Each structure stands twice: as C-alpha cells, then as structure tokens.
Structure 1
Amino acid sequence: MNTSLIKKSFIPVIAIVILLVMVAWLAGSFDDKIAPGLQSNNQTKSTVNISAPFLVAYSEQALYEPVSAGVEAKQATIISARILARIEQIHVRAGNSVKKGDVLVELERSDLDAQVAQAQERINGLKARHREADNNLTRANKLFESKLISATELDRSKAGFQSIEAELTAAKQGLEQAQSISAYATITSPIDGKVVNRFAEPGDTAQPGQKLLAVYNPVSLRVEANVREQLAISLKQGQTLTVEIPSINKTQQAQIEEIVPAANTGSRSFLVKASIAYNQELMPGMYARMLIPAKTEQVLLVPSSKIETVGQLNFIWIEENNELQRRFVRLGKTNTDDMTVVLSGLADGDKVISPPHSNK
C-alpha cells in the first residue's frame, strides 16, 4: 500500500520536470551561445563590397505642386438634326467606334423625296416652255428682219423668253435646295472617333438643334487644369509637364499647347491645356493631377540599390573610420533615375556601400 502511494506522489513531480525541460528547450537553453559584442570588422568586410562607395552629397531637386485637372477631348462634336422629322434608325450606341462619313442616324424622308420630285417635275415643265419661248423668239427675230412684225412684238417675245429663263433658273435652285434638305435626313459622322452618349431613340421626333449623339476623337485627348497665377506665370507653351492619372495608376508626360491669356477673376487662376499621348485606357472626364514646378530644394539622394529593407524598416550601410555601420533611414520619393531621397539618417559626406551579400 505504501509503495502505491509513493508511486502516485512521484507522478506530478515527473510531469513538472518534463514540463520544465520542454520550456528550457523551447527557450533555446540547449543551443550554442554567442557572447555579446560587436562583429569582427574583418568578417563584415569579407561579405560586403566596399570597393566603390557612393559619396552622399546634397543635390538640387525641383518640388512640384499637384493641381487637380481633368481629361478632356480636344476634338469633340454633338450630332444634332437640322430638320424636323421622325427618327427611323440610329445605327450606333455609346462606346461604338465610328469613321468619318459613317451613317449614324436616318430620319424619315418620304416628304423630302416628294419635294425633290416636285421640284424636278417643275423643271421639266419649265424646260418645255423655255424651248417654246426660244423658238418664238427666233421666229420673231426673222419676222422683224422681214419687217412683218413691229418692234413691240419682238420685245414682247424677248420678255417672255427671259421670264421663262428666270423661272427655270429659280426652279433649278429650288431643286438643289430640296436635294440638300433631303440629304439632311441622313446624318453621318464628321470625324473619326467614339460615341460618348446617345440622347434619342428610333421613333422620337428630331427637332433642329436637338442633341442626338455625342462623339469625340480619343486620339485628341488632353489634360486641362486651372493653375493659380503664382505658378502659371512661370509656365510656357511647349513646356513638358508630368501628369498623374490615379484611377489607372499611370504617369504620363504632357506638353503645354495652350495657356488661356486671361485669369479667372474668382479663383485667380489660368486655364492650362496640355496634350498627352494616346492611351486606350483614358476617357474624357477622368480625374488627373498636373505636377507644376513650384520651387527647388537641397536633398540627399542615394541609389535605390544601396537600400536594404527589413519588414517596414529601411537601412543603409555606410563606411566610417574604416568600420561598417548600419543606419536606419527614412526615405522619400524615388525619381526616374532610380535615385531615392533620404529624409533622415544620413549626412553630407557619408560613404554608402551596398548591402551585405550584394554584388551591386
């Protein structure tokens, strides 16, 4: 009985000992220990390329002020009717691409064709009367030469011929007008472009000047912005600016093609228009930011390849007094030359080397 009690009393002790051993193992008590201290400088140099350190120095960098802008179409048109007629067909919808001369809308033309036919028949009748008057004038001239009729009768024949000739000329002009009005029943695209919006449907009555379609040329897009006068006065026509389009995460170069030479009295700003290269993702009305040069500042730039990132922290290795140091730095923007602005952590004259185990 005593032996059984002894065994039961040892079980908790054994469990506690096993638990302590596991905790010590997880804490690394059985791993090899390295005494605290600085790493040997020779060992660091064997893994770091210090043959060509980058000497940090201040350089001048332009500061840009972002100005809200919009993408607009330089070549855009509103398609409207020139006559009052019922719409029979509309061949396009918003988003369709069209070519110059493509038929967009067809209006009812039965009445217009009837007017053309009437004008043509009137011309045919006047041509018959014109031939008769011409023959009468010819006979009257011969009879007058033979002194068989008076000069008054000859003048009457001339007047009749001239009257019929004038009526025929007017009838021909009326035919041309009727044909022109009839042509208004077929509305074609004046430009190559894309349909933006459709404002009517077949069966509607089109009135003169009423909007039917909106078409723009996607190749003629540009960015327009109202720039405050302190910045605008430094801009020049033909100058290249950087434009950001956040919705498609694109940055493009734009060339100023027009600066409206009158300021908005309310905002004291000038309208600046800059053309951009064709991009099929761009559409009129999209938001953009125009980066306008504001001033310059002195900044420290280092090659992006010299920066080491660990999680969300950025480090740079420098050589100082023949020793290597790793410094925490706060970074700014990276420019097109793959040089990054260092906001803090470096000083003018520091020698930056590549990160360890790097061949850069």
Structure 2
Amino acid sequence: MLRPSLLIYALILTLSMSLTACNKGDKDSKLSESDKKSKAAAENPLQVTAEDLYIVRSNALASGPVITGSIQPERRADLRAEVSAIVLQVLKENGETVKKGDLLVRLDDTSIRDLMTSAEEAARASVQSFDQAERQFQRLKTLRASGMASTQQLEDAEIRRNNAQSDLVAAKARTVQARQQLQRTEVRAPFDGVVSERKVSNGDTAQIGKELVKVIDPASMRFQGLVSADKINNVKPGQTVGFRINGYEQEFVGKVKRVDPAANATTRQVEVMVEFADATNQPRVSGLYAEGRIEAGSTQTLTIANGALIRDGDKASAWRVKDGVLNKVAVVVGERDPRRGDYALRSGLVDGDKVIANPMSTLKDGQKVTMVASAGTSALAQPAALKTIVAAEPAAGK
C-alpha cells in the first residue's frame, strides 16, 4: 500500500502531464490552416525534376533598333466616285468578302443614260451626213473627169465630206465618253478581298472624288513601321525582325523588305516595310499596333527565361537551387531577345546557376530541394512540375 505522500506526488504528476498535453493541443489548434501548410512545406523537401530547372548560360542576344508601327495591307483600294450622282444602293457591308468584279455601289445613272442616248443619236446622224457627203464627192469626181463639173465644185464637195467626217469622229467620241460615264455609276471590286470600310449610304450625294468604300486584301498584310533616323544606318533589306502585335500573344517574325529613302519631315523617322516570314501565320485585321526589334547584330551575354522571373514592379527575382536549398535571389535584367523572349541578365546570378523554370507562389526561402526522376520514368505520373511532400495530419482522436 502506497504511503500518503507518494500517492499525492503521483496525483500531482498526472495532473501536470494532462495540463501540458492540453496546452500543446490548444497551441496546435490555434494554428491556422495556412500556417500549418507553411510549416509542413518548410519541414519537408521540395521535389523537382530536371525539366523544372532552367540553367543560366551565356547566349547570343540579338540587338538592333526598335521599330514601331501598325499592320497594313499591301493591296488596298480606296474606291471613289468618278461621277456626280445620288447613291442608289450599297450592296456590301464592312467585313464582307468580295470577288474581283463584284458590284459594290450603284449610283443614279438617269442623266448619264440620257446623255448617252443623245450621243448615240448624234452619231447616227453624223454617219448619214458623212455617207451623203462621200457620195456627192465621188459623183462630182466622176463628172470632173468627164469635163462636166468644175474644179471648184469638186473642191467644195471634198470640204463638205471632210467636215462630215470630223463631225462623225466627234460624235463617236461623245458616245464612248457617255458609255464610260455610265459604267462609272457601278463601282466594282478591283480584286478579291474584304470590304474594310463603308463610307456612304443609300440616298447620299456622291461628288467626284468622294470616297465610297475601301477594299483590302487580308492575305497581303505587312508590318509598316518607323525607325529613328539615327538608327537607320543599321537597317538593311533582308534583316530578321521579331515583333509583337497588339491582341496576339505569340511573337511574329518577318524580314525587312524595303526602307524608305526619305525621313518624315516632322518626326524625323524613317518608314520600314517588313513582310511576314510565314504568309500563312499573319493577322487578318489591319491597323493593329505592332512593336519589335530589327536584328542588326548579336552579343554574348548571360540570359534568363522570361518564365523564370518573378516581377514586383520594377524589381525582378528568381528562385535559385544551390546545394539542395532553395533561395530567392534579386536579379537585374536588361533587353529582351526578340527571337526567344529571353532577357539579358546583368547581375544576381552567374553562369551555371540553376533556377526554377516556372515558380509557384507556394515556394519558401530556405526550403530544401530533392531531385527526382522525370515524369514517366518513375511512379510520379504527373507532368514535370514542382511537387512538395506534405505530411499527413494526424487523424482526429489520435
């Protein structure tokens, strides 16, 4: 049988252990779910594959003048009114495809048709007058040969014949002109393309020179850009151009086709025409803003992939893996390579450093890193991506 003093001591020890366990349980219960996950991530190593890492190397970085401008079609037509008339009908709307010769706009041809009818009647009368004058001249010519007509009579007949012939030529010219005017009341597509802009509606008065519709060929797009005059000596036809177009995520590649021999008098910039390297991979919309760089040369420098960078305003950083530990390193980047999209690395990392290629927001500074086999070569069935071993939480009640 235990003595009273020993019994009291055992009871106090039991109560102390119970209180300690309760306090520990209270502290663990007070940890938030995010804190638990952060603690688990810090205590467990980060598993990465070779595909998850980007190795900083020295590469050729393209350099050259910046070019800005817009995408414009090489084949385009601003169809204008060639006669003064009322617009009767507009048959095509913006965005509709047209074939060469399709009727786009019909103008009122009432007055022009009346003029053509009058010109044709005048031409027929001139033909009759000329035929009569010609017969009279030939008859007097025969009589003069037999001595039955004077020379003066023959000369007068010849003059009348010549005047009738001049009137006939003038009447035919007026008929042709009236027919051409009549044809101009029908505005047709000059080539296969798309109606890009409709300028008139039914009932409008179309004066000579008024713009009616615009037709473009969407398959003939080109980059029409401007280059600063102090950089134009580095631009030559045939050079590669990498550029981006507003509204498109991809980067396009082209070739310098032509350099304008004269600079703009106001901006002192020189126009440069760039054709797409792949004619099947080009935008179908004109007027889009584009910006890029002409590859006039290249320099050797350290580069880092755009996906490996973490942007925070003007600052940039990367997650470096060194000696099995993950660290966040501040870096300074320079110009971007228009061909690959990589950035020139000015400071922060050295040649051979390994960084996370596509970092996630859950990475922790100082976290341990473990290399594992690539996806498909081990039991890891997921694609190559970052994987963190998270300890299972104890089951409730244990």
What's the TM-score, normalizing by structure 1?
0.73
Deviation at 1:304, TM superposition (A): 10
1:266-305 alignment to 2 at 5 Å? 266-276=266-276, 277=279, 281-293=283-295, 298-301=300-303
User: Does the C-alpha gap of structure 1 residues 17 and 264 become closer, same or farther in structure 2, counting only changes over 3 Å?
Assistant: same
Please give the secondary structure, in 2, of the residue aligned with 1:236: coil
* Residues 141-165 of structure 1: CA deviation (Å, up to 9, x unaligned): 2222221221222222222222222
The answer to whether structure 1 residue 95 and structure 2 residue 98 are counterparts is no
Q: Cα deviations across residues 28-84 of structure 1 (Å, max 9, x unaligned)?
A: 9xxxxxxxxx99xxxx9xx9999xx99965344234664432222332222111111
Following TM superposition, by how much is the alpha carbon of 1:347 offset from its aligned partner in structure 2, in angstroms? 2.8
Distance change in 2, residues 1:79/1:278 (3 Å): farther
Is the aligned partner of 1:20 residue 2:23?
yes
Give the aligned partner of residue 165 of structure 2. Answer: 165
Residues 279 and 113 (structure 1 numbering): CA distance in 2 closer, same or farther, change over 3 Å? farther
1:225 aligns with 2:236: no
Post-superposition shift, 1:170? 1.6
Query: Which is worse superposed, 292-301 or 75-84?
Result: 292-301
Change (3 A) 1:24 1:334: farther
In 2, Cα distance between equivalents of 1:358 and 1:343: 32
CA contact (8 A) 1:308 1:316 kept: no
Question: Which position in structure 2 is the counterpart of 1:80?
Answer: 80
Report the alpha carbon displacement of residue 106 of structure 1 after superposing the two structures with TM. 0.8
Instruction: Assess, with a 3 A threshold, how the Cα gap between structure 1 residues 178 and 22 changes in structure 2: closer, same or farther.
Output: same
- The reply on whether 1:104 has 2:104 as its aligned counterpart is yes
- Describe the shift of the 1:193–1:279 C-alpha distance in structure 2 as closer, same or farther (beyond 3 A): farther
What pairs with 1:1-360 in structure 2 (closer than 5 Å)? 19-20=22-23, 22-23=25-26, 58-63=58-63, 66-264=66-264, 266-276=266-276, 277=279, 281-293=283-295, 298-301=300-303, 315-317=319-321, 328=328, 346-348=349-351, 356-359=371-374
123-132 vs 350-359, which deviates more? 350-359
* Pair 1:303–1:207, CA change in 2 (3 A): closer
TM-aligned CA deviation for residue 207 of structure 1: 0.5
- Relative to structure 1, is the Cα distance of residues 353 and 167 closer, same or farther in structure 2, using a 3 angstrom cutoff? closer
> SS at the partner of 1:290?
strand
Aligned residue-pair number: 324
Q: CA deviation at 1:203?
A: 1.1
Q: Is the alpha carbon distance of 1:146 and 1:280 closer, same or farther for their aligned partners in structure 2, counting shifts above 3 Å?
A: same
- Whichever residue aligns with residue 23 of structure 2, its letter is L
Q: Is the 8 A contact 2:63 2:337 kept in 1?
A: no
Indicate the larger mover: 336-345 or 64-73: 336-345
Structure 1: gaps spanning 5 or more residues: 1-12, 29-37
CA distance in 2, matches of 1:240, 1:162: 68
Matches of 1:338 and 1:259, distance apart in 2: 26
| Structure 1 residues 161-215: Cα deviation after superposition (integer angstroms, max 9, x where no partner) | 2222221122111111111111111111223222222221111111100111122
What's the secondary structure of 2:149's corresponding residue?
Answer: coil
Unaligned stretches of 5+ residues in structure 2 = 1-15, 32-42, 311-315, 358-369, 375-383, 385-398
- Give the direction of change, closer, same or farther, for the CA distance of 1:253–1:329 in structure 2 (3 Å limit): same
Change (3 A) 1:288 1:356: same
Comparing 332-341 and 119-128, the one that deviates more: 332-341
Q: CA 1:148/1:59 → structure 2, altered by over 3 Å: closer, same or farther?
A: closer
CA contact (8 A) 1:94 1:195 kept: yes
How far apart, in 2, do the equivalents of 1:253 and 1:111 lie? Answer: 54
Among all aligned residue pairs of Structure 1 and Structure 2, give the percentage whose two residues are the same amino acid: 24
Q: Is contact 2:243-2:338 (8 Å) kept? A: no
Contact 2:65 2:227 in 1 (8 A): no
Cα drift, residue 267 of structure 1: 3.9
Deviation of the 1:288 alpha carbon: 0.9
Question: Which letter maps to 2:260?
Answer: V
The answer on whether the counterparts of 1:199 and 1:211 sit within 8 Å (CA) in structure 2 is yes
Which one-letter code corresponds to 2:201 in the other structure? E
Distance in 1, Cα, partners of 2:212 & 2:260: 31
